[in-house]
Amino acid sequence: MKNPRNWLWLLVFGSAWGIMEVVGGEAFFKNNVPRASVWLTVWALFMLAIARGLVNKPGSSTIIGSTATLFKLAYAAPYFCHLLGIFFIGLVFDAAATAWLRKEKKSLLPAFLTGVVTTYGAYALFAVTITYIAKYGPWISGGTPKVLNHIFVGGSLAALASLVVVPLGLRIGLGREPAFGRQSKWVTAGALVVLAVLWTVGRIIS
């Protein structure tokens, strides 16, 4: 993580995740889209997987999740539960990727494990924390049935999608890393532009 360009990538992918939370999340929840959190999770996993292919370092996914959380906090209504959910996805993905993706294996099994463990782990951690520790009103009223539904219904849908988006994202990230290394100046400049555009757009639409 000593390379400044690695930090730039983490900020870009965290912001790309964050703007989907702001734009897509607001649209989904406003229009009562079924299982909106699942769609947002799928996008988050895709961004995390691409980034992990580019920067396969412990802690990198947590930084991406933290960036997405800050983006959401800066440009959308500060719903504590949403922020917590975003952060937990990045945190659990980090732990899973550190366990199974350290050697950048070509086998699909490590990617499958990372995606499935992330979805069930993050959904369970969020549901238990928000209900029994934070004691957030809507979750307390929903009780254990709401917790179980979130983990085993929403989590299963996201886990199923992760079997596609995590391997795909890793393949994209790993495939781009050599090319980006050969054209570092242009890639860095482009990443800076993308980062500036994302935060500017977030500011405009907020």
Question: What would the 3-class secondary structure string for 23-64 be?
Answer: HHHHHHHHCCCCCHHHHHHHHHHHHHHHHHHHCCCCCHHHHH
189 belongs to a structural domain: yes
What is the length of the chain? Answer: 206
- Total of domains in the chain: 1
199 belongs to a structural domain: no
Q: Is the pLDDT of residue 44 over 80?
A: yes
- With CA atoms as reference, report the closest residue to 121 among 85, 74, 70, 79: 85
pLDDT at 47: 98
Determine contact, residues 69/83, Cβ cutoff 8 Å. Answer: yes
Instruction: Please report which confidence band the pLDDT of residue 30 belongs to, taking 50, 70 and 90 as the band edges.
Output: confident
Q: Average per-residue pLDDT in the chain?
A: 91
201 belongs to a structural domain: no
- The average pLDDT across 69-73 equals 95
- The average pLDDT across 100-110 equals 80
pTM for this entry: 0.94
- 171: domain range? 4-194
What span, in angstroms and rounded, lies between the C-alpha atoms of 118 and 62? Answer: 12
Q: Which two tokens stand for residue 77?
A: 């209504």
- The average pLDDT across 101-115 equals 85
Q: Is the pLDDT of residue 85 over 70?
A: yes
Determine contact, residues 45/162, Cβ cutoff 8 Å. Answer: yes
pLDDT at 162: 98
Q: Is the pLDDT of residue 179 over 60?
A: no
94 belongs to a structural domain: yes
Q: Which of 16-20, 79-83, 119-123, 185-189 has the lowest mean pLDDT?
A: 185-189
Determine contact, residues 86/33, Cβ cutoff 8 Å. Answer: no
- The average pLDDT across 56-67 equals 97
200 belongs to a structural domain: no
What span, in angstroms and rounded, lies between the C-alpha atoms of 115 and 162? Answer: 5
205 belongs to a structural domain: no
- The average pLDDT across 88-93 equals 98
184 belongs to a structural domain: yes
- Alpha-carbon torsion, ordered 108, 113, 116, 120, to 10 deg: -170
Q: Is the pLDDT of residue 147 over 90?
A: yes
77 belongs to a structural domain: yes
Q: Which of 48-62, 100-114, 135-149 has the lowest mean pLDDT?
A: 100-114
Residue 101 DSSP code: S
Instruction: Please report which confidence band the pLDDT of residue 105 belongs to, taking 50, 70 and 90 as the band edges.
Output: low
